[in-house]
Chain A
Amino acid sequence: MQAAECTWTHFEMLRPFCFKSPSTTPLFFNFSKHFQKGYSDSSFFRSNWRISNYPSFMATISSVSTHKDPVSTHDATPNITHQPVQVAKRMEKFKTTIFTQMSMLAIKHGAINLGQGFPNFDGPDFVKEAAIQAIKDGKNQYARGYGVPDFNNAIAARFKKDTGLVIDPEKEVTVTSGCTEAIAATMLGLIDPGDEVILFAPFYDSYEATLSMAGAKVKCITLRPPDFAVPIDELKSTISKNTRAILINTPHNPTGKMFTREELNTIALLCIENDVLVFTDEVYDKLAFEMDHISMASLPGMYERTVTMNSLGKTFSLTGWKIGWAIAPPHLTWGVRQAHSFLTFATSTPMQYAATVALQAPDSYFAELKTDYMAKKAILVQGLKDVGFKVFPSSGTYFVVVDHTRFGLDNDIAFCEYLIKEVGVVAIPTSVFYLNPEDGKNLVRFTFCKDEETLRSAVERMKEKLKKK
Chain B
Amino acid sequence: MEGKLSSVAKNFTPSSIQELSQLAQKCNAINLAEGFPDFPAPPCIKEAAVSAINNDFNQYRRVQGICDQLALKMKKTHGLNVNPLTDIAICCGQSEAFAAAIFSIINQGDEVLLFDPCYETYEGCITLAGGIPVYVALEPPQWTLDPEKLMRSFTSRTKAIVLNSPHNPTGKVFSRDELEIIAEGCRRWDCVAITDEVYEYITYDNQKHETIAKLPGMQERTIITSSLSKTFSVTGWRIGWAIAPASAASAIQNIHIRITDSAPAPFQEAALTALRSPIEYFETLRGEYELKRDFCMKLLGSIGFRIQFKPQGSLFLFAELPKDCLLSDVEYVEELIKQAGVVVVPGRGFFHGNESCNYQKRYIRVAFCKSGATLNAAAQKFGELINAKACPKILY
Task: Give chain A's interface residues, CB within 8 Å of chain B.
Answer: 1-4, 6-16, 18-23, 27-28, 31, 66-68, 70, 74-77, 80, 83-91, 94-97, 100, 116, 118-120, 122-123, 128, 131-132, 135-136, 138-145, 177-178, 180-181, 184, 188-193, 195, 205-206, 209-210, 213-215, 244, 277, 304-305, 317-322, 329, 331-332, 334-335, 337-339, 341-351
Task: Please judge, given known A-B contacts A8-B333, A178-B261, whether A13 and B133 are in contact too, CB under 8 Å.
Answer: yes
Shortest Cβ distance from residue B65 to the other chain A in the assembled complex, whole angstroms: 15
Quick check: B2 and A331 within 8 Å, CB to CB? yes
Quick check: A128 and B95 within 8 Å, CB to CB? no
Chain B, range 235-290, C-beta contacts under 8 Å to A: 235-238, 244-248, 250-251, 253-255, 257-267
Cα distance A22–B10 in the bound complex, in angstroms? 27
Is B211 part of the binding interface, using a Cβ–Cβ cutoff of 8 Å? Answer: no
Nearest neighbor of A132 in chain B, beta-carbon distance: B50
- Determine which of A7, A67, A339 lies in contact with B23 in the assembled complex, contact meaning CB atoms within 8 Å: A7
Is B175 part of the binding interface, using a Cβ–Cβ cutoff of 8 Å? Answer: no
Q: How many residues of B contact A (CB 8 A)?
A: 113
Quick check: A339 and B333 within 8 Å, CB to CB? no
Shortest Cβ distance from residue A17 to the other chain B in the assembled complex, whole angstroms: 8
Shortest Cβ distance from residue A257 to the other chain B in the assembled complex, whole angstroms: 23
Task: Please judge, given known A-B contacts A66-B86, A68-B246, A322-B263, whether A136 and B253 are in contact too, CB under 8 Å.
Answer: no
Quick check: B125 and A342 within 8 Å, CB to CB? yes
Quick check: A68 and B247 within 8 Å, CB to CB? yes
- Determine which of B14, B124, B330 lies in contact with A342 in the assembled complex, contact meaning CB atoms within 8 Å: B124
Question: Which B residues lie within 8 Å of A332 (CB)?
Answer: 1, 4-5
Task: Please judge, given known A-B contacts A19-B130, A23-B157, A138-B40, whether A97 and B349 are in contact too, CB under 8 Å.
Answer: no
Quick check: A67 and B250 within 8 Å, CB to CB? yes
Question: Which A residues lie within 8 Å of B358 (CB)?
Answer: none
The 9 closest A-B CB pairs, nearest first, are A320-B265, A349-B236, A70-B247, A19-B109, A335-B9, A338-B12, A345-B95, A94-B254, A342-B124
Quick check: B247 and A349 within 8 Å, CB to CB? no
Chain B window 19-59, contacts with chain A (Cβ cutoff 8 Å), 1 for yes, 0 for no: 11011001100000010111011000010011001101111
Task: Please judge, given known A-B contacts A68-B250, A345-B93, whether A322 and B81 are in contact too, CB under 8 Å.
Answer: no
Is B106 part of the binding interface, using a Cβ–Cβ cutoff of 8 Å? Answer: yes
State which of B217-225, B308-316, B374-382, B388-396 sits at the interface with chain A.
Answer: B217-225
- Could you list some 24 contacts between A and B, CB below 8 A? A3-B337, A8-B349, A13-B124, A16-B8, A27-B190, A28-B190, A77-B219, A88-B105, A94-B255, A119-B59, A132-B53, A142-B36, A142-B236, A209-B258, A213-B255, A244-B4, A319-B59, A335-B6, A341-B15, A342-B99, A342-B121, A343-B96, A344-B93, A346-B236
Is B92 part of the binding interface, using a Cβ–Cβ cutoff of 8 Å? Answer: yes
Task: Please judge, given known A-B contacts A8-B349, A189-B9, whether A318 and B58 are in contact too, CB under 8 Å.
Answer: yes
Quick check: A87 and B105 within 8 Å, CB to CB? yes
Cα distance A332–B3 in the bound complex, in angstroms? 10
Quick check: B333 and A347 within 8 Å, CB to CB? no
Is B11 part of the binding interface, using a Cβ–Cβ cutoff of 8 Å? Answer: yes
Quick check: A128 and B258 within 8 Å, CB to CB? no
Is B61 part of the binding interface, using a Cβ–Cβ cutoff of 8 Å? Answer: yes
Nearest neighbor of B61 in chain A, beta-carbon distance: A320
A-B pairs with CB below 8 Å: how many? 343
Cα distance A157–B346 in the bound complex, in angstroms? 37
Question: Which A residues lie within 8 Å of B41 (CB)?
Answer: 138, 140
Cα distance A211–B176 in the bound complex, in angstroms? 42
Question: Which A residues lie within 8 Å of B133 (CB)?
Answer: 13
Quick check: B11 and A14 within 8 Å, CB to CB? yes
Question: Which B residues lie within 8 Å of A18 (CB)?
Answer: 108-109, 130, 132
Cα distance A298–B23 in the bound complex, in angstroms? 35
Is B197 part of the binding interface, using a Cβ–Cβ cutoff of 8 Å? Answer: no
Cα distance A210–B260 in the bound complex, in angstroms? 11
- Determine which of B23, B27, B237 lies in contact with A140 in the assembled complex, contact meaning CB atoms within 8 Å: B237
Question: Which A residues lie within 8 Å of B38 (CB)?
Answer: 141
Nearest neighbor of B132 in chain A, beta-carbon distance: A18
Quick check: B9 and A348 within 8 Å, CB to CB? no
Nearest neighbor of A117 in chain B, beta-carbon distance: B60
Quick check: B260 and A322 within 8 Å, CB to CB? yes
Is B7 part of the binding interface, using a Cβ–Cβ cutoff of 8 Å? Answer: yes
- Determine which of A20, A68, A116, A191 lies in contact with B6 in the assembled complex, contact meaning CB atoms within 8 Å: A191
- Determine which of A4, A76, A304 lies in contact with B1 in the assembled complex, contact meaning CB atoms within 8 Å: A304
Cα distance A209–B7 in the bound complex, in angstroms? 20
Question: Which A residues lie within 8 Å of B56 (CB)?
Answer: 122
Quick check: A118 and B59 within 8 Å, CB to CB? yes
Nearest neighbor of A74 in chain B, beta-carbon distance: B246
Quick check: A86 and B105 within 8 Å, CB to CB? yes
Cα distance A27–B156 in the bound complex, in angstroms? 8
Chain B window 278-310, contacts with chain A (Cβ cutoff 8 Å), 1 for yes, 0 for no: 000000000000000000000000000000000
Is B172 part of the binding interface, using a Cβ–Cβ cutoff of 8 Å? Answer: no
Is B196 part of the binding interface, using a Cβ–Cβ cutoff of 8 Å? Answer: no
Is B103 part of the binding interface, using a Cβ–Cβ cutoff of 8 Å? Answer: yes
Task: Please judge, given known A-B contacts A2-B23, A23-B157, whether A348 and B236 are in contact too, CB under 8 Å.
Answer: yes
Question: Which B residues lie within 8 Å of A91 (CB)?
Answer: 104, 251, 254-255
Quick check: A76 and B258 within 8 Å, CB to CB? no
Task: Please judge, given known A-B contacts A87-B247, A347-B238, whether A16 and B36 are in contact too, CB under 8 Å.
Answer: no
